[in-house]
């Protein structure tokens, strides 16, 4: 069965995600460990432009040269444990692509990304999951992020995310140093509120 890609139409779709951030450059050892895990790895380099307006529950970005995406936090809470320095905070988001974003009351910030993704197999029609390891550069400041993201019908994507997290725990070749580096668990909107204010356009 072929690996999935994220939904690409402009209609709303919901995701279940858990994401960590770490300061500094992404170590080459972690890139090698992630790439050595089972399954094909897809690599993409792009610059996403985010509206940083202080909100932690709504994110607005332009994905590369593509459409604007609005991402709104849904009422949900949960945690996962992969041995990281902090437990992973599970969040659910509703995304709409192709919508017009706000242009007032905030700063537009360019986030350069070098993305490694592994797409996992379909569990039911219209659902899927990915793991992601991405190096980040914002106004010359380096950071990196690691995440799980699942989409599809609510119960299916939650179950799928749980299964992929379990598989990661059993198959990971990244070691304790990787887990210890994951110091913050949050979504991009909240993380951007911690980024220095000189990254504006």
Per-residue pLDDT of the chain (201 residues; tens, 9 = 90+): 333 456 555 578 899 999 999 999 999 999 999 998 888 899 999 999 999 888 999 999 988 878 889 999 999 889 998 888 889 999 999 999 875 544 556 789 999 999 999 988 666 567 899 999 999 999 899 999 999 999 999 999 999 999 999 988 888 878 788 989 998 999 999 999 887 554 444
pTM of the full structure: 0.88
In 3D space, the residue among 138, 173, 147, 188 whose CA is nearest the CA of residue 25 turns out to be: 138
Distances (CA, A) of 47 to 83, 92, 110, 111, 133: 30, 24, 6, 6, 15
Distance of CA 114 to the CA centre of its chain: 12
């Amino acid at each position: 069965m072929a690996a999935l890609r994220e939904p690409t139409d402009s209609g709303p779709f919901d995701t279940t995600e858990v994401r960590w951030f770490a300061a500094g450059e992404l170590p080459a050892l972690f890139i090698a460990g992630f790439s050595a895990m089972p399954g094909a790895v897809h690599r993409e380099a792009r610059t996403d432009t985010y509206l940083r307006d202080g909100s932690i529950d709504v994110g607005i970005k332009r994905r590369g040269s593509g459409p604007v995406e609005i991402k709104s936090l849904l009422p949900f809470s949960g945690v996962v444990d992969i041995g990281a320095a902090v437990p992973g905070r599970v969040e659910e988001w509703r995304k709409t692509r192709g919508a017009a974003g706000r242009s007032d009351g905030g700063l537009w910030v360019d986030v350069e990304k070098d993305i490694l993704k592994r797409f996992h197999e379909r569990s039911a029609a219209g659902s899927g999951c990915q793991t992601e390891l991405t190096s980040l550069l914002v106004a010359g400041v380096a950071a990196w992020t690691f995440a799980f993201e699942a989409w599809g019908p609510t119960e299916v994507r939650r179950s799928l995310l749980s299964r992929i997290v379990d598989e990661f725990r059993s198959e990971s070749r990244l070691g304790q140093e990787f887990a210890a580096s994951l110091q913050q668990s949050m979504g991009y909107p909240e993380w951007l509120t911690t980024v220095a204010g000189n990254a504006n356009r």
